Amino acid sequence: MANVVVIGSQWGDEGKGKIVDWLSERADVVVRFQGGHNAGHTLVIDGVTYKLSLLPSGVVRPGKLSLVGNGVVVDPWAFLNEVDTVRALGVEVSPKNVRISESAPLILPLHRELDLAREKALGAAKIGTTGRGIGPAYEDKTARRAIRLGDLAEPQALGQRVQALLFHHNALRRGLGEPQIDADAMLATLAEVTPKILPYAGVVWQELDAARRRGKRILYEGAQGTMLDVDHGTYPFVTSSNTVAGMAAVGSGQGPNAIDYVLGICKAYTTRVGGGPFPTELNDDIGHRLGERGLEFGTVTGRPRRCGWFDGALVRQAVKVNGIDGIALTKLDVLDGMREIKVCTGYRIDGDAIGHLPASTVRQAKVEPVYEVLEGWSESTRGARSWAELPATTVKYIRRIEEIIGAPVAVLSTSPKREDVVLVHDPFAD
């Protein structure tokens, strides 16, 4: 049985929710391995819409084990609120089917406050963070001062951990003109949430190892997208974690040999939320049309997404960085009715050709996309479930994308409905 990693191949918002839900029906275990509640997945099942941020997508399906790995930063209050929300929709959520790694760092109120205070201080130069404390929580993890979920079970040592944390944060708060935090007040806040969140703590790496030994199918669910990776993305306009496929092993406590297939998700066009470079962005009627037809608003933030043509050079880079075996191409139907469609095949900087998006922010600002113009189609692709139902020019568009990015299309999504899928290759079959 293959174990599959699902990752975003662009700047996030590629439609991972539907694909992960479609795959999770056949998986036994679904595990989140990075990020926090700053990224959202929207699932529509039997007419019911579920908007998940921290809970793995498998939670909406009975009989699945949902795990939150050590690579995720967890806001206990956001987690518990999300549990209440999905329970109200009839979903069973308890420590029996959802577990969080005892090693997962916690996002505390001070992290959210620091996030917002920094963005305010940056003014026009702000990064565009969601303000949920993700970045500051990862900073504390790296600096070895984080409070982790398992620490809540050790009240005798928690006081010292809080003092060490506040030694750093209160200094920052003074510099930003924010009031200092009292250690006793923070301990009281943690004491109140501990009995609610601690029952979900578990040894996730051990559970995954046991599941693998029993031949269970494991789905590693990524959040955000490759170009938001803190190492490989458009730095500094990135998230605070590694979003690439290699993080699936690190962020869940498994070895690299746990991964059998990497499925990259990408739209048939490109979108981005917040600031940062976007070579194929369209600030015209076509860009506006893509946004309207694709309902391009963030699941978590509600912010409108910037829209542009498909950037094949960008996805080609993601294919190589992630070791992508196949692509799930989504929102193809948004392109229906366009007379011609442009695809970026590479870039130019000061007249010189370049095949990838450079790391330098100075050079990124100079990037000009090189386009290839493809014939569009007037027929509808919405709801197609086989190649035979697709217009010939649509198939040509897909085949050309495969050539440009250097990876085959394994799954084709033709509407938000989970059953509207053209399956070319089953990732779980490897």
List, by residue number, the catalytic residues. 13, 41
Strand 352-354 versus strand 340-349 pairing type? antiparallel
Distance CA 221, CA 22 (A): 12
Tokens of 11: 């700047």
Distances (CA, A) of 59 to 83, 111, 163, 220: 10, 27, 36, 13
User: Which DSSP letter does residue 106 get?
Assistant: B
Tokens of 123: 């003014």
Distance CA 74, CA 82 (A): 12
| Burial degree of 392 (CB within 10 A; 0-12, 13-18, 19+) | exposed
Contact 331, 15 (CB under 8 A): yes
Query: How far apart (Å, rounded) are the C-alpha atoms in residues 199 and 359?
Result: 43
Rounded to whole angstroms, how far apart are CA atoms 114 and 373?
46
Please choose, from the candidates 229, 269, 266, the residue with its C-alpha nearest in 3D space to the C-alpha of residue 245: 229
Q: Return the closest-CA partner of residue 146 out of 171, 199, 110.
A: 110
Q: Are 318 and 263 spatial neighbours (Cβ–Cβ below 8 Å)?
A: no
Question: Rounded CA gap, 305 and 135, in Å?
Answer: 21
Q: Which residue pairs, CB below 8 angstroms and at least 24 apart, start in 196-199?
A: 196/76, 196/80, 197/76, 197/79, 197/80, 197/100, 197/149, 197/152, 198/149, 198/152, 198/153, 199/95
Cβ(63)–Cβ(53) below 8 Å:
no
